[in-house]
């Protein structure tokens, strides 16, 4: 369960690991491997999803020429979209990589990173290194505050 949760919602795997009373090494390994699996899975799934979405997306009729074509419309920016665009524009690749494990989520952060910057080996490696570093940090915090985490989050 810790492994699967870490691959999708990285931060929430640590209270679960504390609830299962996993050791330091078990928590670190399960969360790291889950996060790495999530990054790899969603990094290689992004481009096929985008291709399928473009193929399935309905085309609108051009009323002037009565021809099938994609009509560009102004995109509505919702609050979440604005935050993601601001994050991308303000912090760029480094911001997306750093915020993916704990703020965004591994699927969403990996999708944005690959979509905006490509699925290059270097970018995926940076995401993996960030997951490992945050796993180490959160595992240390989990070990130090285990009793408080179990009391506040599990019960």
Task: Quote the CA–CA distance of 45 and 119 in Å, as a whole number.
Answer: 10
Domain that holds residue 99: 2-154
Distance linking the first and last C-alpha atoms of the chain: 18
* pLDDT for the residue numbered 135: 96
Per DSSP, 103 falls in state I
* pLDDT for the residue numbered 145: 83
Query: Exposed e or buried b for every residue in 17-46, given b needs 16+ CB within 10 A?
Result: bbbeebeeeebbbbbbbbbbbbbeebbeeb
In this structure, what token pair is assigned to residue 43? 């990094």
Q: How many domains does the chain have?
A: 1
* pLDDT for the residue numbered 74: 52
pLDDT level of residue 146 (50, 70, 90 thresholds): confident
């Amino acid at each position: 369960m810790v492994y699967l949760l870490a691959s999708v919602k990285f931060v929430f795997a640590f209270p679960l690991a504390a609830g299962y009373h996993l050791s330091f090494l078990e928590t670190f390994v399960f969360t790291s491997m889950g996060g790495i699996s999530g990054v790899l899975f969603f990094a290689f799934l992004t481009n096929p999803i985008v291709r399928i979405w473009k193929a399935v997306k309905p085309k609108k009729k051009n009323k002037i020429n009565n021809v099938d074509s994609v009509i560009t419309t102004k995109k509505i920016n919702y609050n979440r979209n604005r935050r993601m665009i601001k994050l991308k524009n303000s912090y760029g690749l480094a911001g997306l990589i750093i915020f993916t494990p704990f703020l965004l989520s591994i699927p969403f952060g990996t999708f944005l990173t690959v979509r905006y910057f490509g699925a290059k080996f270097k970018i995926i490696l940076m995401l993996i290194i960030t997951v490992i570093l945050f796993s180490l940090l959160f595992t240390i915090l989990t070990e130090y505050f285990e009793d408080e985490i179990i009391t506040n989050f599990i019960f």
